[in-house]
Amino acid sequence: MKILKYLLFLILIVIIAGAIYFGTKDGSFDVSKTKVIDAPPEVVYNNVKDFRNWEQWGPWMEEDTNMTITYAEKTEGEGASYSWKSEEMGDGKMQTVRVIPNKEIDQKIVFNSPMGDSESDVYWRFEPAEEAGKTKVTWGMKGEQSFMEKVFMSLQSEDFETSLGTMYQSGLDRLETELKTSMEQYTITVDGITQHGGGFYMYNTTAAKISEIGEKMGPMLGQIAGYMDTNNINSAGMPFTIYNEINEQNGTVIFSAAIPVAARVITPEGSPVLCNYMAPVSALKTTLKGNYDNLPEAYEAAKSYLATNNLLRDNSRNMFEVYANDPGEVPNPSDWITEIYIPVLTSGPRFTQ
């Protein structure tokens, strides 16, 4: 009987000691992971801000493919929320409480468990990386563990900070993969024969290797835009490129970068920026929605359409591309729109084969 009393006394001492130990143990935590992702801040933010996108890269999806997710009517911006039920991960909900577009997102997460509910703060930070076009992304969570949570985590093979950090690192890796895939999406549509109205335009011209067009285009358009701004000349449309001469054998091209204007502009002698007029033209229009890297494929689609429909190019007129939106305002390359115009013959003796 004495032995039983001693055992009960020892158990009581252990319980009291355990309660004192876990009760006084610091339960505060702040766990975060940071990754430089190969995508602009706007692109990363636009994906993360909408809870519906989290299904594509959320690391917990790997842990429980049977997780049930319920979305609120609002899934992005302040007040957005969603909840989940999972036998593996437990139940819970999350709500966005503060956003600074393209820079910060703050959220509240609540876990429901037999030990009770616990609430923590989740935070996202988006900073331009040193390398242009990339983003330094930080994803973290901070809060205070309850007494029972401290006891529970002490019995696990991996401590809470390590487990959460591993999950966040996996999520950031999966997010980068998802963004890379989304930015590579593109479509090519051959719209058919159309009439382009032409008009006056400001331009400059250079010779280059075909592979150098992209890197030279930006500075050339910048020079034109700067000239127009200095001289109070308004744009009358989106920028475009005119291909004056292409030597595919040598891989060289003479091209003009151009911006439409409403009327003829008289430029001073020696001006690096000039004004010209494009006459209206019948052309095959092809639209690329996606990165400019896919332009060669778009041109091949246009050439195939010409051949299939027995259409002849009008070699007296130059091909040109119109950039229907501005990459500076549309950060995701999958949303860039380029209209390709290949002049065609619609009548006359050359309209035969």
In a domain, 108, yes or no: yes
Residue type, 141: M
**Predicted local confidence at residue 22, as pLDDT:** 41
Joined tokens for residue 199: 């008009």
Residues 148 and 231 in one domain: no
Residue 19 lies in a domain: no
**Residue entry with tokens 């002849």:** 312
Q: What is the CATH number of the domain that holds 125?
A: 3.30.530.20
Using CA atoms, how far apart are residues 344 and 308, in angstroms rounded to an integer? Answer: 14
Show which of 130, 162, 183 is a domain's final residue.
183
Q: Are residues 179 and 191 in the same domain?
A: no
Count of CB atoms situated within 10 Å of the CB of 197: 10
- Examine the domain organization and report whether 161 and 263 are in the same domain: no
Query: Would residue 351 count as lying in a domain?
Result: no
Query: Is residue 352 a part of any domain in this protein?
Result: no
Name the nearest CA neighbour of 324 among 173, 141, 191: 191
Statement to judge: residues 156 and 233 lie in one domain? no
pLDDT at 145: 61
Closest by CA position to 52, among listed 77, 21, 76 = 76
Give tens-digit pLDDT for 248-276: 889 999 999 999 999 999 999 999 999 99
Last residue of some domain: 128, 159, 183? 183
Is the residue at 18 inside a domain? no
What domain range is 215 assigned to? 187-343
Long-range contact pairs involving 154-160 (C-beta distance under 8 Å, separation at least 24): 154/22, 160/29, 160/31
Does 7 reside within a domain?
Answer: no
The structural domain count of the chain equals: 2
Q: What pLDDT, on the 0 to 100 scale, is given for residue 34?
A: 97
List the helix and strand counts (H, then E) for the chain: 8, 15
Query: For position 348, what pLDDT does the model report?
Result: 52
Write out the DSSP string of 199-226: EEEEEEEEEEEGGGHHHHHHHHHHHHHH
Q: Are residues 170 and 243 in the same domain?
A: no
Do 156 and 194 reside in the same domain of the chain?
no
Mark whether 98 and 138 lie in a shared domain. Answer: yes
Residue 123 token pair: 């935070």
325 in a structural domain: yes
pLDDT at 43: 96
pLDDT of residue 86: 85
Q: How far apart are the first and last CA of the chain?
A: 113
- Let me know if residue 6 belongs to a domain: no
Distance of CA 310 to the CA centre of its chain: 40
pLDDT per residue as tens, the chain (353 positions): 555 444 444 444 444 444 443 445 445 789 999 999 999 999 999 999 999 999 999 887 777 778 899 999 999 999 999 999 887 777 899 999 999 999 999 999 998 866 667 889 999 999 999 998 999 999 999 988 654 454 444 444 457 788 889 999 999 999 999 999 999 999 999 999 999 999 999 999 999 999 899 899 999 999 999 999 999 999 999 999 999 999 988 999 999 999 999 999 999 999 999 999 999 999 999 999 999 999 999 999 999 999 999 999 999 999 999 999 999 899 999 999 999 999 999 865 444 43
197 and 103 within one domain: no
The last residue of a domain, from among 153, 183, 213: 183
Residues 162 and 271 in one domain: no
What digits encode the pLDDT tens for the residues 186-204? 999 999 999 999 999 999 9
Q: Are residues 176 and 276 in the same domain?
A: no
pLDDT value at position 350?
45
The reply to whether 146 and 211 lie within a common domain is: no
* pLDDT value, residue 162: 85
C-alpha 268 chain-centroid distance: 43
C-alpha span between 314 and 346 (Å, rounded): 9
> What are the CB-based long-range contacts (under 8 Å, 24+) for 168-172?
168/31, 168/32, 168/33, 168/59, 168/139, 168/140, 168/141, 169/33, 169/35, 170/59, 170/62, 171/57, 171/58, 171/59, 171/139, 172/33, 172/35, 172/37, 172/137, 172/139
CATH number at residue 245: 3.20.80.10
Considering the domain architecture, whether residues 56 and 86 belong to the same structural domain is answered as yes
Local structure of 38: helix, strand or coil? coil
